[in-house]
Structure 1
Amino acid sequence: MPATPAPRRRLTPLRDLARLLAGADFPTAAPAPGTLPARLQPWLAPPGVLAIAVLTVVCVADFQTSRAPFGAAEATLLSLGATAPLLFVLWRPLIAWRIAYAGAFTSTLWLDRTSGAWPWPVIQMAVVVLVLGVAAARTSAGITAWIAVLAALPCLLHAPGGTGIQVWLPLAGVLLLGDQVRRRTRVERILEAQEEITDLARAQRAVLEERTRIAREMHDVVAHHMSMIAVRAETAPYRLAALPGPARDEFTAIADAARDTLTDMRRLLGVLRTNRDDPQRAPQPTLADLPTLIATAADAGMPITLDTGAADPAPPEPVSLAAYRIVQEAVANAGRHAPGAAVRVSVRSAEDSLHVTVANGPAPAPHTAPARGPGHGLLGMRERAQALGGTFTATPSDGGGFTVAARLPTRSGPPVRP
Structure 2
Amino acid sequence: MSTSSPSPEPPRAGLPAARHALRAFATALTTPTRPGDPLLGNAARPWLRWLPYVVALAFTVSLLPTAIVVLSNDYGMNGGLAGALGVAQTVPLLLAVTRPLQTWWVIFAADLATALALTMSAPLPGPPYPWPAPTVVGLLALMVALGLRERRRTLVAVWLVTGAAGILFELFRSGDGDGTWVLMFVLSGVVLLVAGALRERGDARRELAEQATISEAERARRTLLEERTRIARELHDVVAHHMSVITVQADSAPYRLQGLPPEAAEEFGTIASTARESLAEMRRLLGVLRSEESERHGGPEKTPQPGLDQLSRLVEGTVRAGVPVKSALSRALGELPPAVDLSAYRIVQEALANVVRHAPGARTRVSVTPDRTGLTVLVVNGPPPRSAAPLETTGTGHGLVGMRERVRLLGGTLDTGPLPDGGYRVAARLPLAEPPTEKDPTPA
Relative to the length of structure 1, the TM-score reads: 0.82
When structure 1 is superposed on structure 2, of 319-328 and 375-384 the one drifting more is 319-328
Deviation for aligned residue 1:107? 1.5
Which letter maps to 1:92?
R
- Structure 2, unpaired ranges of 5+: 1-16, 171-175
Distance, in Å, in 2 between the alignment partners of 1:361 and 1:155 is 99
Matches within 5 A, 1:231-310: 231-275=248-292, 280-283=300-303, 284-298=305-319, 300=321, 302-308=324-330, 310=332
Distance, in Å, in 2 between the alignment partners of 1:333 and 1:358 is 11
Could you tell me whether the CA contact under 8 Å between 1:357 and 1:405 is conserved in 2?
A: yes
Match of 1:66 among 60, 70, 74: 74
Deviation for aligned residue 1:378? 0.6
When structure 1 is superposed on structure 2, of 134-143 and 240-249 the one drifting more is 134-143
Identical columns (%): 33
Distance, in Å, in 2 between the alignment partners of 1:80 and 1:14 is 32
Going from structure 1 to structure 2, the CA distance change for 1:406 and 1:250 (only over 3 Å counts) comes to same
When structure 1 is superposed on structure 2, of 367-376 and 238-247 the one drifting more is 367-376
Match of 2:35 among 15, 25, 47: 25
Cα deviation 1:183-228 (Å, max 9, x = unaligned): 3333333333332232223222222222232223323322232222
Matched residue, 1:152: 163
Match of 2:203 among 186, 191, 200: 186
Q: RMSD between aligned alpha carbons?
A: 3.5
Aligned residues: 405
Distance, in Å, in 1 between the alignment partners of 2:309 and 2:134 is 82
Match of 2:46 among 37, 41, 63: 37
Which letter maps to 1:386?
R
Matched residue, 1:132: 143
Distance, in Å, in 1 between the alignment partners of 2:208 and 2:23 is 31
In our comparison, the structure showing a higher alpha carbon Rg is 2
Is 2:245 the partner of 1:228? Answer: yes
Which letter maps to 1:307?
L
Could you tell me whether the CA contact under 8 Å between 1:31 and 1:37 is conserved in 2?
A: no
Relative to the length of structure 2, the TM-score reads: 0.77
Is 2:127 the partner of 1:104? Answer: no
Cα deviation 1:140-171 (Å, max 9, x = unaligned): 23433332343234323322527345532432
Going from structure 1 to structure 2, the CA distance change for 1:191 and 1:289 (only over 3 Å counts) comes to same
Matched residue, 1:411: 434
Matched residue, 2:348: 327
Cα deviation 1:113-154 (Å, max 9, x = unaligned): 563343544333223122223223312234333323432343
Going from structure 1 to structure 2, the CA distance change for 1:350 and 1:104 (only over 3 Å counts) comes to farther
Distance, in Å, in 2 between the alignment partners of 1:224 and 1:53 is 83
Distance, in Å, in 1 between the alignment partners of 2:138 and 2:356 is 84
Matched residue, 2:377: 356
Could you tell me whether the CA contact under 8 Å between 1:151 and 1:168 is conserved in 2?
A: yes
Distance, in Å, in 2 between the alignment partners of 1:372 and 1:204 is 37
Is 2:169 the partner of 1:161? Answer: no
Matched residue, 1:122: 133
Going from structure 1 to structure 2, the CA distance change for 1:90 and 1:243 (only over 3 Å counts) comes to same
Could you tell me whether the CA contact under 8 Å between 1:394 and 1:403 is conserved in 2?
A: yes
Deviation for aligned residue 1:172? 3.1
- Structure 1, unpaired ranges of 5+: 1-7
Deviation for aligned residue 1:363? 3.3
Which letter maps to 1:161?
G
Match of 2:418 among 373, 392, 396: 396
Cα deviation 1:81-109 (Å, max 9, x = unaligned): 23224322232222332332232222122
Could you tell me whether the CA contact under 8 Å between 1:104 and 1:154 is conserved in 2?
A: no
